[in-house]
Structures are given as structure tokens and as C-alpha cells.
Chains A and B, each alone.
Chain A
Amino acid sequence: MPSRTLYGIPVSAGIAIGKAYCLNRNHFSGMARQTLGQEDVPREMERLGRAFEAALLDLERILSLVPEDLKEHAAIIESHLMMLRDHKFRKRALDHIENTRINAEWALERAVGDLQEVFAAIADEYLRQRMQDVRLVAERVLGKLVGGEGGLNAITHRAILLAHDLSPADTIELDVNKIMAFATAQGGKTSHAGILARSLQIPAVVGVEGLGDDLAEGNIIILDGFHGRIILEPDEDELARYTDLQAQFESYQATIMRSCQLPAETIDGYRMQVLANIELFEEVVAVNDNGGEGIGLYRSEYSYMSHGGMPTEDELTEIYMDMASLVAPKKLVIRTLDVGADKLMRMQVPSEPNPALGLRAIRYCLKHRDVFRTQLRAILKASVLGNVSIMFPMISGLQELVEVKKFYREVQREMHAEGICFREDMPMGIMIEVPSAVITADFLAREVDFFSIGTNDLIQYSLGIDRTNKDVSYLYQPLHPAIVRSIKWVVDSAHRAGIEVCLCGELAADPFCIPVLMGMQVDSISLGPHAIPGIKRIVRQASMEECSALLKQVMTSQSVARNNKLVREMIFRRFPEELMFYSSLVDE
């Protein structure tokens, strides 16, 4: 029998071969409808009521288990608790049993369906998405109705977890001793489940198309976290091939981990700093374990997005202080709020026709000075710890930067007047990610202490493509001559002004692009913690001489295809293992 393969987005590297375990097997799509006799109605209503109570108890228990450093999860779980306690929701489900004599499972689905209709009519995307929370809550109740099976606690042997979606509550319960890998039907590259998988270091694939309920539980399957594949019913050849690959990866992993705490220095003595991009507290451990030399990009959005409301100055200060002390003595670069109006203001504005070009990041902050002030004050307060730097995203030109600096000084003066301590010489930098900032990089360089090139946005804006759009994503070409020239110009402008330049974004974690960046003498790179050991290994085995030679060829090339060929040849010749274990932005 031929094997069947499902495809998704790889979010955490590795291979797992094991028995499938389907979470929430009784997802609504497979629910049977039953009509009850009138005499069964009271009992069925009672059954549903008990399921609600049992689900409540479960969630309360999980909430009490949430560790201190995962406070963000607690807020989401609390809102789930409130939904579970929502008397109107419960009554609606009970009414369906009473009025139409249907079974509890079906009644619950009907109640969810009713709400779905109401929510679908809401224009605001954030609120519409709360429907997802209602579903997760209802699934818990459903789990209780069908006898408490299908939950994470029911897993008795090591297995590959297959789920429709993993809620924050689920992820708290994940037991790495039992879960060897997981795949979900929902989720994207940046979903929380992916971050978690990487920090637990288990392979994971999300957004898997066709990951339905028809998967035979208990069958041996293969999960390929390098390429985003789930192979159902693998044949012997595939099993042998993947077992081999798994062994090779483990030994490769062991090799790179052994040297990950060593400095990223080429064989001819060129030193590059390797920093990490993070979003959550729990990632700091991974940064240290993987040899990260500091945090080059701390995304500060999470504290705004997670608990629904605007965090207060005290809340932010506490978060930044905690983070800075955790990271010390290494450095922590905090990037100020980098979200679009579409995400943050939610229902306040009619959705923008073109959010990527709209009121986002620094533009939003300049328009909403109260929000900006709160964050600046919190960062300034945390600066007393000595290892904090501040970085402004999406600067598009000198005038905007001057405006930002003016406000920044104003906030500093206010704090000074209030007698609040802060470090006046906290390093201040900007993200270079808009083409206009690239072109005027020489002007901007005189105004700041460092640059950080955000390649994801830079590529998108420079090449004019939205890479989540399947029809144009083939144009997402990191080694396009325009991109290579842009980065080179920014690096040179920074160095001429005597400031350092960091490069963050996926490019920094792409083994194929690293030699080119090294050739440009980028001072530091910042990448996902788990990509650090592999990248450090390349840096440590490469020489500046060969990287400069490669860059020279790339700089004179007029075509992407030729650039891709040049770097592939070098990687093939010098780092054959990376070819096997990494997917690259550079296509064949």
C-alpha cells in the first residue's frame, strides 16, 4: 500500500517516528446527532451540566499550575474560565436539549454554532477571533461528555501528538516525556505552539492540510520537522531512510551543541557576535543553552497582545526589569512596539486597506504618544540595570527619527524632573527595514548608536511582494541583487559612521546566507535561539577570506539565480550536512 503524506509548515526541526495519538478525537465534525425520548431530557441536561462543571474544575487546576514566568498564559486561561462560566452560553446549550430533544454533544455544538453566527457578523478581527476561544472551551466540555478520553492526560505511551489546535492550556499540560513531536491543523510559522516546540526541542509541524479525524490512532507515522511532512502508513524503505536521517541529525545536533558555547570566530580570526530574537521569558533558557551571546531583538508586543488590554507602566517596567536581570550580564535590546493599528487598536479604527503600509510600529507610537510614553518610561526605568538597549522599528527617514528622538528626550526630561533614575547613555538604535531608510542610511547613522537590519520587512518592501501570498511568494528572494546591495550599503554606512550593525530576520538563521553576511562584516546577527548552534558552527569553520571572495562574486552578479548557485556551491562544498538538515530561503 502506498504511503500517504500530509504537508504543513515546519516549525521545529527533527524527525519523530512513533505511534500517532489524536487529541480531541471527537472534534465537532465527527459528532453524531441523536434524538432523545422526552423522558431522557432531564438526564441529558444534567449530563451537560456536569460536563461543564468538570471542565471548569480542570481549567481551574491548570490555572493553578501555570508557572510564574508564564503569566501571559494565565490571562488567556482566565478568559477561558469566564467563558466556561458564562451562564448564557450554558443555558443556550441546555435549552437546545430541552426544546429540541437532542443529545448534549449536539446541543453544545448548536450553542457554539449560534455564537459563531453572532461573531461572524463582527467587523473587528480581534473580536471575531475570540470565537476560537469559545471553540477551545467547548472542546473541553465535549471531552468531558465523551468520557474524559482524548485529553492529554490520557496519553500512556510515548507518542506523536496530532491535534486540531493546541491551546495555551494544552501547552501547559504537554509532557515532553510522553510527547515526542506534534502536528496541528491550525497555526502558522509564528504560532505559539511553534515557539513552544522549539523551546521543548521536539519536532513540530503546524498548519497541516488534511489533518482530520480519519487518522488511525496508534499507527506508526513519521513526522519530518525539517520539511513539514507527516507520512502516514510509511513503508519499510521510508522507515529505514528516516531512521537513518534521525540518527544522523542526532549526531549532528550533538556535534553542534558541543561547540555552541564557543565564540563565533572564523578560522582566520574574524569575530561575529551571535545574538537571539525572543518574545517570551521562557526562551531565555534556550538562548543560554544554545550559546546566544545576548538578546539582539526582544519583541515587546507580546505583553500588549496577550492580555487584551494596554499594559500599565508598572507592568511593563516589571517585565523589562525581570527580563534584563534574567539576561544579565549579556545585553538585551528591547524593540519598541512594532504592531500595526490593525492588531493593536482592534475595533477602534476601520480596518486599513493596506496594513503593511499603514499606521504601524513607530508611526503608531508617534500618533499615540500616551502609549509610546508608557513604554519609553518603562524601558528607561529598566535601563538602570545597565545591559538594556532601546531600538525603534520601521524608521523611514531622518525627519521621523528626529521626531522620535525629540519625544524620547522629552520623556527623559519628565522623568528627570520627577526624580526617576535612568541611564542617560543607554544605547539607542533603529531598525533599518524600509527602503527609504536604506537609501538614507548614511544620514541616519550619525544620529544613533547602532543599526539593526530587519530583513523580513526589508525584502518585502524592497521587492514589493507579500510573501504570505502564494502567487508571489516565489519572488521572495533574499539574494536578489537589490537586497544584497541594500544590506551592503547599510553595513558600510554604519561602519563609516563608527557604529555597529546587527542583522536580524530569517536571513540571519539561513545557513546559505551567512557566508555572504560575513563577507560584508556584519558585526552581529540575531536569530531564533535554536538556530544558533548550527549557524555558529558555520562561522567557526568558515574563513573571512572565502566569505569575502564569495561576496565579491555576489556583488558583481546581476542575477538571483547566479547568486543562489554561488552560495549553494559553497555550502555543498564546505558544509554538506547543512544541506541535509536545513530548509533554506535560497531555492535551487
Chain B
Amino acid sequence: MDDVQERTIRVGNSLGLHARPAGKISQEAQRYAASISVHSGGMEADAKSILDLLSLAAPQGTELRLRAQGPDAAEAISSLTKMFEDMFGEDR
């Protein structure tokens, strides 16, 4: 049975979801078998695609919905959430 996990997070770093965080997220997401998507407004992006993530153009403060489906969905969500919470190592 495929596990579906969802969580709402907020973009915290001041530069928003620009090239470096998008790269980090896509790299991390690729480590999981689960399919992972990021939703913002009416848009949906594949978390494993840097170009998709960039096209969300999500500035600081944007509310995003993470959604993962697959055997390791729970780990994927918690690891990605942590990246957002750490603000991708920025704004320290």
C-alpha cells in the first residue's frame, strides 16, 4: 500500500526559492523512491526537477504544500521539511 504524506510549510529564507535551494531540494528529493510534488497556489511542481521548482517563483513567506506518495514518503517529507526549516543554510 502506497503511503501518502502531506505537509504545509512556509518559505523562510529571505531570497525565496531561488536557484540554490531549488537545486538542493531536487537533489534531496531524487534520493527517494516516492513521487514528491510541491504545490503553490494552483501550481504544482515535481520536487525532483530543479526547473519545475524554479518555475513556482516562490518568494519568502509563500505557503507551500509538500506531497509525497510512495514507500518512503514519510522520510522524504520529513527530510524536505527540515531543509525548509533550516532555510537551506541561508540567513544564518
Contacts and interface: CB of A to CB of B under 8 A. Distances in A.
Contact of A312 (B55, B60, B89): B89
A83 B15 contact: no
A134 B51 contact: yes
Nearest to A307: B20
Interface stretch (A29-37, A121-129, A276-284, A430-438): A121-129
A309 B51 contact: no
B53 to A, nearest CB: 10
B18 interface: yes
A89 B58 CA distance: 20
Contacts, number: 86
Contact of B91 (A78, A87, A126, A310): A310
Given A310-B91, A312-B89, A313-B92, A82 B50 contact: yes
B85 to A, nearest CB: 16
B52 A88 contact: yes
B69 interface: no
Interface in A328-365: 345-348
Contacts of B26: 82, 86
A528 B4 CA distance: 58
Contacts of A310: 13-15, 90-91
A312 B54 CA distance: 23
A368 B60 CA distance: 14
A288 interface: no
B81 interface: no
A62 interface: no
Contact of A86 (B21, B50, B91, B92): B50
B15 A309 contact: yes
Contacts of B59: 124, 346-348
A378 to B, nearest CB: 12
A371 B15 CA distance: 12
Given A79-B23, A82-B23, A86-B51, A309 B18 contact: yes
B52 A308 contact: no
A448 B23 CA distance: 43
B89 A88 contact: no
A309 B57 contact: no
B55 A309 contact: no
Interface in B51-92: 51-52, 54-55, 57-60, 88-92
Contact of A347 (B16, B50, B51, B92): B16
B50 to A, nearest CB: 5
Interface in A365-412: 368, 370-371
Nearest to B62: A347
Interface string A282-319: 00000000000000000000000001111011000000
A89 B51 contact: yes
Nearest to B60: A348
Contacts of A89: 49, 51
A89 B45 CA distance: 12
A122 B57 contact: yes
B27 A82 contact: yes
A347 B59 CA distance: 5
| Majority-rule SS of A interface residues | helix
The size class of the interface chain B forms with chain A is 20 to 34
B54 A130 contact: yes
A126 B18 contact: yes
Contact of B15 (A118, A122, A134, A345): A345
Interface in B3-30: 13-16, 18-21, 23, 26-27
Contacts of A66: none
Given A123-B57, A127-B57, A347-B57, A86 B49 contact: yes
B26 to A, nearest CB: 6
A118 B54 CA distance: 10
Contacts of A463: none
A309 B21 CA distance: 8
Contacts of A122: 55, 57
A86 B18 CA distance: 16
Contacts of B58: 347
A240 B19 CA distance: 50
Contacts of A242: none
Contacts of A119: 54-55
A270 B14 CA distance: 50
A135 to B, nearest CB: 12
A566 interface: no
Contacts of A127: 18, 54, 57
A426 interface: no
Interface string A87-123: 1110000000000000000000000000100110011
Interface in A164-181: none
Contacts of B23: 78-79, 82
B16 A309 contact: no
A127 B22 CA distance: 11
Most buried by A among B16, B50, B51: B51
B51 A308 contact: no
Most buried by A among B19, B27, B55, B91: B19
B20 A87 contact: no
Contacts of B50: 79, 82-83, 86
B47 to A, nearest CB: 11
Interface of A: 75, 78-79, 82-83, 86-89, 115, 118-119, 122-124, 126-127, 130, 134, 307-310, 312-313, 345-348, 368, 370-371
Given A86-B26, A124-B57, A348-B60, 19 more contacts: A79-B50, A82-B23, A83-B51, A86-B51, A86-B52, A88-B51, A89-B51, A115-B55, A123-B57, A124-B59, A307-B20, A309-B13, A309-B20, A309-B21, A309-B90, A310-B14, A310-B15, A346-B59, A348-B15
State the 8 A-B residue pairs at the shortest beta-carbon distance, nearest first.
A308-B20, A88-B49, A347-B59, A308-B19, A309-B20, A122-B57, A309-B90, A347-B16
